[in-house]
Structure 1
Amino acid sequence: MYITDTQTEGPVAVVVGGIQGNEPAGYQAAGGIKTWSINRGTLVTIPRANPVAIQRDTYLNDNGNLNRKFPPGETPTTPLARAIWGVIASYDPDIVINLHSSQGIYEEDVGPDGVGQAIYPTTAPGASEDAVTTAEYMNRYHLDDSFPDYYRFQRGNTIDGTRPYLVHKTDADLGVPGFIVESTRYETSLATRRNWELNIVHHLLDRHGIDRTYES
C-alpha cells in the first residue's frame, strides 16, 4: 500500500486496484494514483491488491475470487482479504473506490454481457449523486466523439451491502460512500480504459474535498 498524508486535516480516501488480475486498467490506474500529490487529507492506495492473480493474468488466485471474500459484518475469509480490509478499516476512510473492468457494457445489448461504463455507489448519503455527477462529467469531457452513445457512462445499481464484495462490506460495515468503477474492455484500448478510470477517481475525490495538485 502507498500512503499520501498531507499533514493537513481533511478527508481520507482509499483506492484499490487489481482485485482481479486480468483487469489491468484498474491496477495500472491505481499505480498512477499512488504518486498523486493532493491538497489535504490522506490518500491510501492499494494498486495491486491481488498480486498472484496479476502475475498470472487471471481472474482468480489459489483461494478463488478475492472479491468474494469480504462478508459484511464478518471477518474476511482469507489472509489476503483480511490484510486488505485491515488497512481500509484502520484508516477510517471517508470514501472507498474499487477499480475494475468488464468484458461488456452495463444494460446494453451490444457486445458480450457485462457491467462496464458504470459507476456503482453504496447506499451512503450523497454516493448516488456522486456517481451520477461523475458519469455526466466523464461523458462531457472524457468520451470523445469516436465512441457510440452506448459507451456513455452511467450510474450503476446501488450497492446495498448484501454480498461478500469489498465495496458491499464498505457499505455495510463502514457506512461511507463507496464506489465500484467499471470500464468496458469491449473494443477499447487499455490506455483508454486506464485514462477513464484515472479521471473518474480524480472527479470522485474532488467531490469529497480532495483535489490533486500539480508541481509547477
Structure 2
Amino acid sequence: MLSCTCTVRADTRPSSSHEVFFAGSDYELNVYYVKGRQDGKTLLLIGGIQGDEPGGYLSADLYPDLVLEKGNLIVVPRANLKSIILGDRGPDGDMNRQFHDEAKTGPMYQVVGKLKELMSQADLFLHLHDGWGYHSPVYVDSLRNPNRYGQSLIADSANFTCDDGSVLPLQEMADSVLGEVNSRISNEQHHLHFFNTRTADPDTPYSEMRKTATYYALRKECLPAFGVEASKNLPSLEDKILYHNLVINAFMERLGIVAEAPRILIPTSGLHYTEVMVNGVPHMLKDKDTLTIRRNDEVQVVDIGTDYKRGVTMDLLGYGNLNDFKQSFRVGKDTQMVFRKEGQKFGSIDIKALSDEQYARYADKQKQEQHDHRQNVTRVFVVAVNDKHHVLLSGDTLKLAPADRLELISSFGDGSNDETVTLNFRGWVPETPSKMPNDDRGYLIEPDKSRLLRQYSEHGEGKRYAVVATDSRGNPVGEIWVQLSQ
C-alpha cells in the first residue's frame, strides 16, 4: 500500500490527535499531535529512525499521552518501523542519510518526505538516538573521547546562519539545556556534553551529516535542530529513556511548553486475544491457539487485544510484509501469525490450511465434540476496566468501584474456531440502542453515572449483576458477575 492517511484531528484545546500514513506497510508512520490548553511554541520529537536505538523511540512514545497546559508537541516515536521490527539500523539503507535534496522514490523516501513536512510546522526539532560510548571533549579512553556519540547533544554548528540572515545560537541553547539536565544526573560519568559536528565546514570529519534530518531542518526550514544521543553502553534501557526525557523536558521548559512529566517505563505487551475474520466471519483466538481454515480462505486480523497497542504489529509469515495487521490474504498453506511490539515477539497463532475434504472431516469432528462437551466448555471473557484489559473465566466475579469504567470486549470458548457471541450486562440499558439486540459490547458502562435496574441484580440487592454470553441461537453459554462496591 503506497499511502493511506487515517486522520483523527481535534480543534479544541487541550486535545490530542493521531495520523497514520502508509497504513499496513512496513513503513507505516504514526504521527501524534498534542495541543495545549493555550497555544504556544511547537516541539517536534522524532525517534526510531534507526531501529537498533530503542532508548529514543521508547522515550518519544511516552509523550503522546501528555496533557499540555501551554504549547504543542508533534511526536513521531517510530520513524522507521521496518528497521525497528528487524532491530536493524537500516535494512533498506540508513534513513537518516536520505535528507539531502535529491528526490528518490520508494516507501522509505515517502516517510522522509512526511518528516520534512512536519519540520515546517515546528519551532524546534529533537532527533532521538542511542550512540556508542560516551562523548567527551578530551580523550580519556577508547570508550570516552571526542569521537564517541553517546551521552551528547549534537548540533551541526555552534551558530547557524539561515538564508534570510537570521542566526540560530545552537551552542548557547545547548549549553543552557545541558546545565539543567546534568544538574539532575548524580553520576558525573553519565553527564551529557555538547558535540558540534561543524557539518557545513569544508574540513569537517563528519561530512555525512549533511544528509541528516537535523541538517535539513537547519538549511531548509531555519529550524533549530539537535540530535540527542543516549549511550548504548548505559547499564539499563531505563537509563537511556530517562536521559532522553530529561533533555526533552528541558527543551520544553525553554520553549514555554508546560506539561506533566511522563512516567519512566518500558511498556510490555501480552496477547490477550485477537479477532480474525475468515471470509468475513469473526473468530476470537488466544495466544498459542490454532486457526483451522480451508485452503485459500480469506484471512484478516482486525483487532489485537493487548494492554499497550502503540508499536504493535502482526506478521503473517510467508505473506505480505512485516506488518500485515488489517490486511486481507488468501491463505493456501500452513503458516503462523506472529505478533510483535517493535522487534520483540509477544504472541503467535498457528494457521492450518486444509483441503476441502480434510476441512469437511474436521468440521464434522468439531460439531460432534461441541455437542458432547458443550456443558464443559471453558469460556473466557475479555473486558476492559479503565482501559486496562482483564481476562476472566465463566463464573468469575469482577469487582468495580463506582468511578470505574467498564467495557465488554469479547468472549470465546476453548475451541479455536469458536463463534463470536453477544454480551449482555443484565440490568444496564444503553442510551442509544445497540445494532444487535441485548449486545452491550463496545459501550462504556460507568456504574456511578448509569441507571442500573435493581430488579435484575442478584436477589434484587443492587450489588451483583450478571454479564451473560449468548450464542447465535439465543442460548446462554457462560456468564461472569460484576460486584459493585459502595
Same fold (TM over 0.5): yes
- Provide the secondary structure at the position in 1 that maps to 2:70: coil
Do residues 95 (structure 1) and 124 (structure 2) align? yes
Q: CA RMSD in A?
A: 2.4
Contact 1:167 1:179 in 2 (8 A): yes
Do residues 53 (structure 1) and 83 (structure 2) align? yes
Deviation at 1:169, TM superposition (A): 0.5
Contact 1:117 1:182 in 2 (8 A): yes
Corresponding position of 1:79: 107
Corresponding position of 1:152: 191
Could you give the per-residue CA deviations for residues 151-190 of structure 1, whole angstroms, max 9, x where no partner exists? 3211110565661101110111111111100011224311
Task: Tell me whether 110-119 or 99-108 shows the greater mean CA deviation.
Answer: 110-119
Corresponding position of 1:117: 151
Change (3 A) 1:50 1:24: same
Q: 1:203 aligns with which of 246, 250, 254?
A: 250
Give the total of aligned pairs: 209
Distance 1:5 1:189 in 2: 32
Change (3 A) 1:121 1:39: farther
Distance 2:231 2:125 in 1: 21
Change (3 A) 1:173 1:42: same
Distance 1:87 1:101 in 2: 20
Q: 1:56-67 alignment to 2 at 5 Å?
A: 56-61=86-91, 63-67=92-96
Corresponding position of 1:170: 217
- Provide the secondary structure at the position in 2 that maps to 1:42: strand
Corresponding position of 2:175: 132
Change (3 A) 1:103 1:214: closer
Q: If each structure's helix is expressed as a fraction of its own residues, which one has the higher value?
A: 1
Distance 1:181 1:151 in 2: 14
Q: If each structure's strand is expressed as a fraction of its own residues, which one has the higher value?
A: 2
Distance 2:105 2:182 in 1: 38
Deviation at 1:106, TM superposition (A): 1.6
Distance 2:149 2:261 in 1: 33
Deviation at 1:87, TM superposition (A): 4.5
Distance 2:99 2:116 in 1: 12
Corresponding position of 1:6: 36
Greater Cα radius of gyration, structure 1 or 2: 2
Q: 1:193 aligns with which of 234, 237, 240?
A: 240
Deviation at 1:103, TM superposition (A): 1.4
Q: Which runs of 5+ in 1 are unaligned?
A: none
Distance 1:66 1:195 in 2: 25
Distance 1:52 1:187 in 2: 25
Deviation at 1:12, TM superposition (A): 1.6
Change (3 A) 1:7 1:82: farther
Distance 1:78 1:11 in 2: 33
Change (3 A) 1:201 1:187: closer
Task: Tell me whether 90-99 or 50-59 shows the greater mean CA deviation.
Answer: 90-99
Could you give the per-residue CA deviations for residues 95-152 of structure 1, whole angstroms, max 9, x where no partner exists? 11100011111235242762111111353523322211111112111x22xx3x4432
Deviation at 1:65, TM superposition (A): 0.4
Amino acid at match of 2:45: V
Deviation at 1:21, TM superposition (A): 0.4
Q: 1:35 aligns with which of 40, 60, 65?
A: 65
Change (3 A) 1:45 1:187: closer
Distance 1:158 1:208 in 2: 24
TM-score w.r.t. the length of structure 1 is: 0.86
Q: Which runs of 5+ in 2 are unaligned?
A: 1-30, 161-166, 201-208, 263-486
Amino acid at match of 1:114: R
* Identity, % of aligned positions: 23
Q: 2:55 aligns with which of 25, 30, 38?
A: 25
- Provide the secondary structure at the position in 1 that maps to 2:52: coil
Change (3 A) 1:150 1:78: farther
